[in-house]
Amino acid sequence: MLQLVKNWLNRYIFDPELAILWLFLLFIIIVFASLGKILAPVFVSIVIAYLLQWPIHSLEKLHLPRIAAVLGVYISFVSLVIIGIVGLLPLLFRQLNNLIAELPAMVAKGQALLLYLPTRYPGYTSVNQIQEWILQFKSQLTHSGQLLLSASLGYIPNVIAFAIYFVLVPLLVYFFLLDEKKIIGWLSRYLPEKRRLISQVWTEVLTQTGNYVRGKALEMLIVWIITYLSFAILGLQYAILLSVLVGVSVIIPYIGAVMVTIPVLIIGFLEWGWTAHFAYLVAIYTLIITLDANVLVPLLFSEAVNLHPVTIIIAVLVFGGLLGFWGVFFAIPLASVVNAILNVISCKKAGNKNNILC
């Protein structure tokens, strides 16, 4: 038994190349754990700069000078952000304020609709059951409102930090784009000389994560536009607010769609009740999420992220629990890192020199 443990440690822990990989990963984890909040704008800037590399490289292939490609893509990105802030955010806040103002009336209307159920379906529900549901819902709503208020007051100091980040992030993105090769060269000097496994893991992670992030951004845009047009045609209130929520929900695979379905159905039910319009909303929304899962996702991602759905859900739960919002946001890239490490270890164990990862 001791010999088995010794062999395992020698193969997976004390192997010189794997030891370097473990130390490098440990260093990255320590940096994230100790300086994550301080360096948050740097990490966000790195992600944005990485996303913008694809259009820059595409322009360079058309023989455009790098400085011109960087400036063109950067100016376009900043312009889109400004348009989004000036054009979209006021609409979102306006609809959110209207929703909060109309919430008591909507709750009263929903109560009336629910109390109508015993009359229409006497064999399935009773007035006492409906009233008990309403009391539980009101209690939960009051509790949620108190939590939201306390959370809002707690986040007031972060408004100043957000304003600072709003200035820092665009500047950092510009310098990361402009001096990409210089920064990578400088960082490479501090990496171990024997970094074959690190390079292999890094290459696989970059390939999978890059395809995933670009595909996810495009998926968010497509789902948001289609959902907004569908809700607007139906005449649903808060179409912009709900469509943005649906678009953002694709960040969290599987779980996000389920979470956003609840407010969509509640608002649709409170607006139209048990009518044909509500049935159209349910049918169209079901069609959107079905097409997204079965057509759009395979088309955009193909084999970009070779992870089983169960693995993805576990990654969302684990990294979300460990790192909060950012853990949920980066669950798939982090799972790709783990998958890449396991692939490298598997290749090393098999001694397969023909595998591109080995």
d(CA 195, CA 197): 6
pLDDT band at 29 (very low <50, low <70, confident <90, very high): confident
Same domain, 85 and 144: yes
Residue 12 falls inside a structural domain:
no
Flag whether pLDDT at 16 surpasses 90: no
Q: Do 232 and 186 reside in the same domain of the chain?
A: no
Domain presence at residue 16: no
Is 22 within the bounds of a domain? no
Q: What is the pLDDT of residues 173-183, one digit of tens each?
A: 999 988 888 88
Cβ atoms of 114 and 133 within 8 Å: the answer is: yes
Answer yes or no: do 160 and 222 share one domain. no
pLDDT digits (tens, 9 = 90+) for 221-254: 999 999 999 999 999 888 888 999 999 888 877 7
- Is it the case that residue 300 has pLDDT exceeding 90? no
Q: What is the pLDDT of residues 95-110, one digit of tens each?
A: 878 877 777 777 777 7
- Please state at what angle helix 331-350 crosses helix 16-35, rounded to 10 degrees: 170
Mean pLDDT, residues 316-337? 74
What b/e string do you get for 292-324 counting C-beta neighbours within 10 Å, with b at 16 or more? beeebbeebbeebbebeeeebeebbeebbeebe
| 214, 184: one domain | no
Q: So what's the pLDDT on residue 13?
A: 64
Closest of 74, 56, 75 to residue 66, by C-alpha: 56
Q: Which pLDDT score, from 0 to 100, does residue 144 have? A: 56
pLDDT over threshold 60, residue 268: yes
Of residues 141 and 199, more confidently modeled: 199
The proportion of the chain whose per-residue pLDDT surpasses 90, expressed as a percent, equals 12
Task: Quote the pLDDT of residue 131.
Answer: 72
Is the pLDDT at 48 greater than 80, yes or no? yes
Residue 286 domain boundaries: 195-358
The whole-angstrom separation of Cα 29 and Cα 77 is 31
What is the model's pLDDT at position 357? 44
pLDDT value, residue 6 = 67
The secondary element (H helix, E strand) that includes residue 165 is helix 158-178
